[in-house]
Structure 1
Amino acid sequence: MIPQTTTTRTVSNALRAQRSHTFKAFYATVRGHTNNPPKPDPVEDVPPNDFILSILKTNPSLRDARSYITSFGLRPHTQPAPNVTKLPPAQAPSNITITTPVRERTVDVTTELPKPSPVIASILNPISRRTALVKLQGPFTDNQLDSICRGMVYLEKLGLVSVIVVESDRNGRSSQEERAALVDETMRIVTNLEKQGSRARPIVGAVVRLGPKPEDEHVELEQGVEPPETHTLPTDLSPIRSALKAGEIPVIAPFALDSFCRSVRVDANNVVAGLARGMVEAASLDATKPPSEESSSEVDLTPLRLMIINRDGGVPSYARSGYPHLLINLKAEYDHITGTFDANWRESHPDALANLALARTCLHYMPTSSSAIMVSHKSQSSLIGNLITNKPAVSSSLPHALLQGNRSLTPHTPTLLRQGLPIQVMRSMADVDKAKMTALLEQSFNRTLDTDAFYKRLDKALDFVIVAGDYAGAAIVTNEPSIDGRPPISYLDKFAVLPSHQGDGTVDFLWVALHDESYGLGHPFSANPNGGRGGKGEGRDLVWRSRSNNPVNKWYFERSTGHVRMGPWVLFWCDAEKRLKIEEGRRGSSGLSYIEDWERGRLSGWAGVVDKIPSAWK
């Protein structure tokens, strides 16, 4: 047996003291809640303060609030100037004496009134108004439409004005009465919006034109992204501009002008895609014009969100047993999702792939900060959470066992889609751009990297590096020799994301790829297209450390199997999921104990190695 040093002995004592609590907490959450059935959809009962409750349920973080304020600003409240006589500075009194027949009162004018919270004020009083493109794919019952329109009105109160495009599957394309039915459906939505307290305007004339723009054949698009089958001219958007300027929600029927200037019925996806591009281009032209009092009061045409509201919800996921994807990285996952789409889902979710393609096309033209959400009519309240936080309803990077047993996941859980970033896995330092990696690490940690020592160590110990985009984020994993004869330790040396990409989904994309390459290996749901092993192989326990005062630790606590404190550090680990699954299968109904034989002594072994890893900073 190797003699323990004083540091290792202290760590071991701490481990023994906390081991029981740590393992109980871990197995109670991960091993005890994997088979809970989801809650049935609640019956909607709208309270009088439903709007405020919907905001409070989002529980926005400080970063979320800052992002919202950046988009919508704070409405200034101007107080009327008091009608008083100005005195020279030398004669200005510090207080004012008011004489009445009854008594004399002194009023201290320096008393300040309580100020409202800036976060609450910014959410309830947006100064800027932005637009959201909404595809409303019915048919919907009256109750369902009430719920949807109420959500649109709530978003308008928060500064996001919907530009709604109507689609209905009730009538076939060959029906002679389809045009009249679509106009009736448009009017029905307008009536319901006004019943909910908003103002709306039906637009039954064509706002898009069939065919791509003439210059499209000379434009190079992202691989696989086809230009929309419709386009707009600046004058085509006049009805939408007029409605927005008048404070009305435009509700658009799915018609387009053909080459003979006839209004013809088209798929709503073509209208939405053409509008996404046209509105972005029109907003760019607006930005080049000199500001005026009239233009300053108009709504920013650039779509901030794309919302696809239907009866089926999001895109089914093989990793969720048919429940929807939580977050989709379109640049990395689009081909994989379409290639692995189950044949049964084509019946239960016939429009999922078409809506997925629509989201990719629209987000190609929209700003990188924009996102798309595919949501069922039963989850309209989630639209507020998405607006304020721009995050999925449940984080996709949480442990898979917790996601499988999470009662908040239902067939109607929304799918959030982002343009995302390509993900690549490198297994040699020769493939790593050290200059870009250094810039990423120093900006992320706000410290100076000891480059010579750091990269010299990685040349010997590197297992793999996962890079998101052009070094917008990275996860570095090394193989550390074990001190007790066990296999090498898989150690997460660095996990970093540029500050400019924190909050845009890159953190979750990167952690999911890390899961697939380490402790999640061996499961079918780890076969994501990140350029690595494709889910094939044996998972390994993943270990890492973090300073005890690191504000990111809360995020680590939620994603780790367990943790233990060791002086100024916190040691985290994630158990290899395939091994746990095999052990559960062997035990059957008897379940796993809190501490298995193969788990004994491993924490002290990990701590002894991790505690000696040198710092990477100067």
Structure 2
Amino acid sequence: MKPACLRACAVGRGGRTLLEPASSAIRATGSLQQTRGLRDHTRRGSGSRSSSPTRDNGELEDRDFYLSILGATSTKREAKAYLQRFTPNSSHLPALPKDVQGSAHIGLGRQNIQLPVPTTKKPTQVSQTYRAAEHHLEPTSSFSPSIETQLAQTLATSTSITPQESLTPPLDPSEQLHLALVKIRDVDSIDDETLRGIGRTFGRLQRLGLHPVIVIEQPNDEVNWRAHAEDQAERVIGALEAYRGKARRVDEVFSITADKKIEVTNPQLLLTPLQRGVIPVVVSVAVETSSQRITFADSYGIIESLTELFSSKSTTSPSTSPTILPIHLDRLIFLDPLGGIPAPDRPVGSHVFVNLLQEFHTIHTDLLSSPHIHHLRSLKTLNHCLTLLPSTSSGVITTPTAAASARIPRASTIGGRNTARNPLIHNLLTDKPIFSSSLPTGTAPVTDTTLVKLGMPLRIFPSGTRLTDPASGVEWDKLVALIEDSFNRKLDRDHYLNRVDENIAGVIVAGDYEGAAIVTWEYPGGKQPGNKGEGGRERVCYLDKFAVAKRAQGAGGVADVVFKAMTAGVSPGGIFEEAEGIVWRSRRENPVNKWYFERAMGTYKFPGAGDMWTMFWTTQNPEIAQKRLMDYVDICRAIEPSLR
């Protein structure tokens, strides 16, 4: 039932219901929107593609690949980060040929790039203007010409390869080898079409600079388990080679010691094919050191042993050969029919993002009651491995179906479930999950993919904390530096402390002050005895400052981690559990407002040309939000800014 003073006037895209005030009191103060869903901010461009019955399939695959990649990197920051990490220095990038007779035309944002295509075929004109929706604290920005050109040059280097040739030539010994350890569970259950899609995805990852080592996990619950596992490995190899990739099965890599520890005995058997652009595929078997008998090996143990070998913290070197490339283990990828790690607040979906340093023990406890032991094993293995790896490394758990998804640029949904965007390629290019983990669970898409990072610790300081009291644990100078860096303004410390220091509801700090939220108790009409506002009105939980350091904006999930922890505080047992939601305001010109809008349950723009504020709230119940609207308005109007 709608509140008496609100009238539904339209249903917007994404299920958002726009409500207009029906009472003169509210009409006089401004316009109100109560969010019921998530607006689709994705802007899709129109494209045309001519076709010919004689067109070479390899050329079409190349062109689709270019469009997919250019569409998946939605910001200059993402493209630049990918180029710096997975491609040679820009000074070594090949120049685009000037005498190319044919070209594929791609329009992205305001820039146009000419990509070379084989000149033996008639070129096709393709227009692509898609930009993915962004969920981070920065305004949407288009590529600069230099970044676009670098990305185009990088992707165009293999266009002269014929369909019969491998798309991944031998690697330059001077380059770093970016490695992905991939574990595929229960290959038996994967049909041939899906397996071919997985082969295409890993071929694309390899072209993008991430080289897979694939571990086949098959149960040893039958007499001929080893032969059956080898047959499944051959199926995977066939799928990889179906898309101009090269792969081969590698045996006798691992051994099992007397104390049941799995060790990598012959790492050169993996590294040599990798250096030649060949994907090694291994079966979960090992040689017992005591009997020299080949036996079953636990696939999770294999992943852990390989991680320990290639980790920068390892005390052993995989090889002393000068021909072996410097190795960086970037991704741990688990393909599991069960999908990602189940989330209690997402009954039909998985955790979107797991910050291990904050959430490992809680999720571990939740999974102890799960009927599927693989979820728990995956979590424990990733926690062990990512502890050994640099903070830039991550793990992805997804389904074979999601990994086989061919199209990247367009994120369509069927029954609320994302069915199009490939999570592995998207994550490689953006270092992010398919969508933000801080979106409201009731309106966010459903996903079977979980991104796992070691992440950062999260500290929560309770109600009554004094910001300048050393005993509280808050590092006031660091907090001020973070606020000033994030807002690019100076904080009037005395003015700010006089207003908030006795009214702190909670302070949330991520990492070493990479991000923070300061939440206060505010009292409509002024504080009265019994922690009430004027006329006995209930106090309001107000987000006073939400800050993310510039170096952490748009990467690492800092904003999501802090915001998600803050909104969880109003749940039973949370630090703000007596509050019905959290309220905050933002300047109208703030580019972060789009990000806020996607996470708020309602918004209110203060009327008048001279008013600078837009108000947001997370109150779930629209009737309560309507009842308390004027309390929210009174508080947001009364607070004087402390940033100069």
TM-score, scaled to structure 1: 0.72
- What amino acid sits opposite 2:456 in the alignment? L
Q: Does 1:388 align with 2:411?
A: no
**1:361 alignment partner, one of 376, 384, 393:** 384
Q: SS of the counterpart of 2:591?
A: coil
Aligned to 1:439: 481
**1:135 alignment partner, one of 183, 188, 193:** 183
Residue deviations 1:223-252, cap 9 Å, x none?
A: xxxxx943447xx32122211111111112
Q: Structure 1 residues 449 and 13, CA, compared in 2 at 3 Å: closer, same or farther?
A: farther
Aligned to 2:583: 543
**Offset, 1:208:** 5.7
Q: Does 1:501 align with 2:552?
A: yes
Which structure exhibits the higher relative contact order, with contacts defined as CA atoms closer than 8 Å and separated by 6 or more residues? 1
Q: Structure 1 residues 510 and 320, CA, compared in 2 at 3 Å: closer, same or farther?
A: same
Aligned to 2:148: 117
Aligned to 2:218: 168
Aligned to 1:76: 93
Contact 2:313 2:388 in 1 (8 A): no
Aligned to 2:10: none
**Offset, 1:467:** 1.7
Structure 1 CA distance for aligned equivalents of residues 497 and 269 of structure 2: 59
Contact 1:206 1:263 in 2 (8 A): no
Q: SS of the counterpart of 1:22?
A: strand
Q: Does 1:321 align with 2:347?
A: yes
Aligned to 2:626: 599
Structure 1 CA distance for aligned equivalents of residues 452 and 147 of structure 2: 34
**Offset, 1:397:** 0.7
Residue deviations 1:562-596, cap 9 Å, x none?
A: 2233446332322422xx2xxxxxxxxxxx7xxx5
Q: Structure 1 residues 196 and 18, CA, compared in 2 at 3 Å: closer, same or farther?
A: farther
TM-score, scaled to structure 2: 0.69
Aligned to 1:516: 568
Q: SS of the counterpart of 2:455?
A: coil
**1:374 alignment partner, one of 349, 374, 397:** 397
Aligned to 1:572: 615
- What amino acid sits opposite 1:252 in the alignment? V
Residue deviations 1:300-320, cap 9 Å, x none?
A: 521111100121111111111
Structure 2 CA distance for aligned equivalents of residues 310 and 316 of structure 1: 13
Q: Does 1:182 align with 2:229?
A: yes
**Offset, 1:449:** 2.9
Aligned to 1:150: 200
- What amino acid sits opposite 1:264 in the alignment? T
Contact 1:18 1:564 in 2 (8 A): no
Structure 1: 5+ residue stretches without partners: 1-11, 31-45, 83-113, 213-227, 581-591
Structure 2 CA distance for aligned equivalents of residues 16 and 121 of structure 1: 52
Structure 2: 5+ residue stretches without partners: 1-22, 40-57, 100-144, 158-174, 404-421, 526-533
Residue deviations 1:369-408, cap 9 Å, x none?
A: 11111000110122111111122222221123213xx3xx
**Offset, 1:158:** 1.3
Percent identical across equivalent pairs? 31
Q: SS of the counterpart of 1:131?
A: strand
Contact 2:198 2:239 in 1 (8 A): no
Structure 2 CA distance for aligned equivalents of residues 501 and 229 of structure 1: 39
Structure 2 CA distance for aligned equivalents of residues 288 and 166 of structure 1: 24
Structure 2 CA distance for aligned equivalents of residues 248 and 271 of structure 1: 20
Q: SS of the counterpart of 2:561?
A: helix
Q: Does 1:16 align with 2:27?
A: yes
**Offset, 1:494:** 0.9
Q: Structure 1 residues 606 and 598, CA, compared in 2 at 3 Å: closer, same or farther?
A: closer
Residue deviations 1:7-32, cap 9 Å, x none?
A: xxxxx999737955624xx24669xx
Aligned to 2:333: 307
**Offset, 1:56:** 5.5
**1:196 alignment partner, one of 227, 234, 243:** 243
**Offset, 1:482:** 0.7
- What amino acid sits opposite 2:180 in the alignment? A
Q: Which has the higher helix share?
A: 1
Q: Does 1:613 align with 2:643?
A: no
Aligned to 1:491: 542
- What amino acid sits opposite 1:314 in the alignment? G
Contact 2:615 2:636 in 1 (8 A): no
- What amino acid sits opposite 2:423 in the alignment? S
Q: Structure 1 residues 245 and 320, CA, compared in 2 at 3 Å: closer, same or farther?
A: same
Aligned to 1:3: none
Aligned to 2:262: 230
Residue deviations 1:69-113, cap 9 Å, x none?
A: 22123561248999xxxxxxxxxxxxxxxxxxxxxxxxxxxxxxx
Contact 1:328 1:417 in 2 (8 A): yes
**Offset, 1:597:** 8.2
**Offset, 1:63:** 2.5
Across the two proteins, how many residue pairs are aligned to each other? 496
Aligned to 1:249: 279
Deviates most, 451-460 or 190-199: 451-460
Report which of the two structures shows the higher radius of gyration computed on alpha carbons.
1
Structure 2 CA distance for aligned equivalents of residues 597 and 458 of structure 1: 26
Structure 1 CA distance for aligned equivalents of residues 95 and 255 of structure 2: 42
Q: SS of the counterpart of 1:611?
A: helix
Aligned to 1:472: 514
**Offset, 1:364:** 1.0
Contact 1:541 1:573 in 2 (8 A): no
Structure 1 CA distance for aligned equivalents of residues 394 and 274 of structure 2: 21
- What amino acid sits opposite 2:601 in the alignment? T
Q: Structure 1 residues 329 and 246, CA, compared in 2 at 3 Å: closer, same or farther?
A: same
Q: SS of the counterpart of 1:277?
A: helix
